[in-house]
A = this chain, B = another copy of it.
Amino acid sequence: MATIADVARRAGVAPSTVSYVLTNRRSISPATREAVEKAIRDLDYRPHAGARSLRGARTRVLALSEPRDAGRYQSIGWRFVHHLSSAARAHDYDLLLLTGEDNVVDNLRRVAGSRLADGAMVMSLHTDDPRVPALRELRFPAALIGKPRNAMGLPWCDFDFAGAAALAVRELARAGHRQIAFVGSSDGEFQLGLNYAPRAVAGARVEAKAAGVHLHVIRSSRSHRTMVRRTRALLASDPAPTAVIIHYDVPALPSILRGEGYSIPEDLSVVVIAATPDLSSELPLARSELPVEEMTRNAVELALAAIEGDPSDEHRLIPARLTKGQSIAPPRRRS
């Protein structure tokens, strides 16, 4: 593999000049720059990442932390990762994955200590996540994807789950619904303490109270059988809900509703919040999409800002936007 010395020799300049061409840290005559760039191309030269980081420069690597158990419940994880990687590459950064270790915190310590990365992004935040104080103590630059109970001065960005839920309630209330069901995240997500799960419920509750509507709250389940049971109980309650808000993807739920003999939106209005692009549905559901691209772009920006030294506790709560599909109708008159 070619080194900076090889390039310098071939271009007939000093190694430092090559370095300066690369880093743009002082002015270079067009002629020299041209010669150096040609030599770089000819030799397919790439700076040695280890040497760079040793010299005190950046590793240009961002660590991505996610607890091992989160993967089970969050199939969206992969979408986030793809977008995070793109966003990081846009700043010439790579992503180092920190999911495989039992102990999330040790893993961060290790990476920070051995300077494998310049900073971290933290996914699947629990309400009281041990990684938050650890990052603080390590003084390792980081951005949180998700809102912990206490960010302890770390920057974070998140989707406004509470706002999305409130918006859905408001929209349904405006259409005339007075009995609204809220199907929250799955049992597993609640049990892990994933912060967005209760936040969405809380948002819905507040707005329901303000709008004077009754909210029937249940959780979803990954077990189809359980889901059917809970749905039946929900629909059988008296007074029965005339609209359903679904937090996140419970792809089977519309099918279950139909299976129980309800048609959408005639018998039941439906709104999905924090939704993923939906290919499976027959009819365009009213929804607020989870803005994955925007979230990841912001997360990377915040992490890089933290690396640059701004110890900002900036946070970005991305507002929900409701796309009205064809799944909201006025409530059917009780017969």
Q: Please encode chain A, from 41 to 79, with 1 for each CB lying within 8 Å of some chain B CB and 0 for all others.
A: 000101111111110000101001000100100110111
**Given A47-B114, A49-B50, A114-B48, A97 contacting B99 (CB threshold 8 A):** no
Q: Which residues of A contact B (CB under 8 A)?
A: 1, 44, 46-54, 59, 61, 64, 68, 71, 74-75, 77-79, 81-82, 84-90, 94-101, 109-111, 113-116, 222-225, 227, 251-252, 255, 259, 279-282
Q: Which of B47, B81, B84, B98 contacts A78 (CB 8 A)?
A: B81
> Hey, which chain B residues are within 8 Å of A53, CB to CB?
48-50
A213 to B114, CA, bound (A): 60
Chain B hits for A99, CB < 8 A? 81-82, 85-86
Bound together, the chains give a CA A89 to CA B99 distance in angstroms of 9
Contacts of A84 in B (CB 8 A): 100
27 A-B interface contacts by CB (under 8 A): A44-B113, A46-B113, A49-B116, A50-B51, A50-B53, A50-B54, A50-B59, A50-B115, A51-B54, A61-B96, A61-B116, A64-B97, A71-B81, A71-B82, A75-B78, A78-B81, A84-B100, A85-B98, A85-B99, A86-B99, A94-B98, A94-B111, A95-B96, A95-B97, A222-B279, A224-B281, A259-B259
A95 to chain B minimum Cβ distance, whole angstroms, is 4
A280 with B222: in contact, given A82-B71, A255-B255 (CB under 8 Å)?
Answer: yes
- Report B-chain residues with C-beta under 8 Å of the C-beta of A64: 97
Q: A282 CB to closest chain B CB, in angstroms?
A: 5
B49 and A223 contacting across the interface, CB-CB below 8 Å: no
Residues from chain B with a CB closer than 8 A to the CB of A49 are 50, 53, 59, 114-116
Give Cα A52 to B49, complex, Å.
11
Chain B residue with minimal CB distance to A296? B100
The answer to whether A101 and B89 have CB atoms under 8 Å apart is: yes
